[in-house]
Amino acid sequence: MPLLILGGFLAPRLILGPVLVAEPVTRGTLLRSVVATGRVTTPYRVAIGSQVTGTVADIPVLEGQDVALGQVLIRLEAGELQAFLAQAQSAVIQAETQLHHLTDVTLPVAVRTLAQAEATLLNAQRQFSRSEQLQASGFATRAALDEVRVARDVAAAQMEAARIQLAGNTPGGTDEVLAQAVLTQARASLRAAQSRLSYATITAPVAGTLIARSVERGDVVQANTPLMTLSPRAAPQLVVQIDERNLGLIAIGQKALASADAYPQEKFAASVAYINPSVDPQRASVEVKLDVPEPPATLREDMTVSVDITVAERAGVLILPLSAIHDPAGAAWVLRVEGGHARRVPVRLGLHGARAAEIIDGLREGDLMLPINAPVDAGARVRTP
């Protein structure tokens, strides 16, 4: 009896063939993609440092904090810089006062001094003329004439000195130019002192996130030494390494689907924005950067990401899973279920995807193919569920 039952069970299998799950040929859209891994980064990072040497008085921000443009990050002790500023302000006031004194006092006095010298010279010249006439008539001595001559020459010298002094005090004169130069230098020193004082307050040059900090209150910092690192508040990028064998498939603008390894179910769109023109000889790879127009809230700096870059797309084509295609890289063929038998059929393939390939010739939509691991040979009887 057991032999009869076993025979009844195996008879259909031996006569009609085993029951196997087949893969159908379907029509749809086939995508070819290049898979890569990389990290999240921003287009650039900003190193925050001091422009002057000083002691840190306050740090009103914390690492990991979002900061706005112009927000105070570090304050340095500024007592000495404030003293320099007060000294520069005093020098400006002194130079302005000197220039005003030249314009309001010295210049009017020089004008009056010249007028007085001109009158004195005119009087001395008249005195000399009368003395010459008297001496010629015998009413004055030679000594008297010499005396008025000296007085005339002194008056002429005084008038020339008054004229030179007035020329120096007028606009464009040497004294006025010198006073203007002193004022200009004092104002420049004031601006320099104001700038140095402003360096004591270090602010955020852009809005972003403070991702690193290496300074504490009381530290003495040197000029041009990085103290903090700021990640700008901009759309992040994905930096991945592509095998150089796929370099010819990658192009700017190609679409991609990415996910962070920490959140693999949360997919987001990206697009190729940059392809490094050189190949890394150590890793035989090429650096590719992708823009993320709408990054998810969970995306963080330096996260590991996986990226599928769509390098080709065909719509409305016949598609068959690679699991049913023998020798897809060479003379491809399949086992088609035909009349209850497995028939070997050569096929011509087109675009290859990650899991399927385009059928250009040899099959029709709806045909059923046996998987390559099916335990049957060509010509064998088979059944499908």
307 in any annotated domain: yes
Instruction: Tell me, yes or no, whether 102 and 160 share the same domain.
Output: yes
Mean pLDDT across the chain = 83
Task: Place 294 in a pLDDT band, splitting at 50, 70 and 90.
Answer: confident
Q: Tell me the whole-structure pTM to 2 decimals.
A: 0.51
380 in any annotated domain: no
Residue after which a domain boundary falls, among 269, 290, 313: 313
Instruction: Tell me, yes or no, whether 263 and 292 share the same domain.
Output: yes
Task: Place 147 in a pLDDT band, splitting at 50, 70 and 90.
Answer: confident
- Is residue 110 helix, strand or coil? helix
How many structural domains is the chain composed of?
Answer: 3
The pLDDT of residue 5: 42
The pLDDT of residue 1: 44
The pLDDT of residue 288: 94
109 in any annotated domain: yes
Residues 148-173: pLDDT tens digits? 777 777 777 877 776 777 666 667 66
Residue 216: which CATH number?
Answer: 2.40.50.100
* Sequence-ordered list of residues with C-beta below 8 angstroms from that of 111, at least 6 positions apart, any chain: 166
The pLDDT of residue 107: 66
Q: Alpha carbon 236 to chain centroid distance? A: 12
Q: Which two tokens stand for residue 296?
A: 């998810």
User: What span, in angstroms and rounded, lies between the C-alpha atoms of 62 and 312?
Assistant: 46
Instruction: Tell me, yes or no, whether 92 and 193 share the same domain.
Output: yes
Q: Which residue in 281, 272, 291, 378 sits closest to 334, CA to CA?
A: 378
Instruction: Tell me, yes or no, whether 274 and 304 share the same domain.
Output: yes
More confident residue, 146 or 275: 275
List strand residue ranges (DSSP E) for 276-340, in order: 285-291, 304-321, 333-338
Span 72-90, mean pLDDT? 90
Residue after which a domain boundary falls, among 313, 331, 349: 313
The pLDDT of residue 312: 83
What range does the domain containing 223 cover?
A: 52-76+200-232
The pLDDT of residue 120: 76
Instruction: Tell me, yes or no, whether 217 and 243 share the same domain.
Output: no
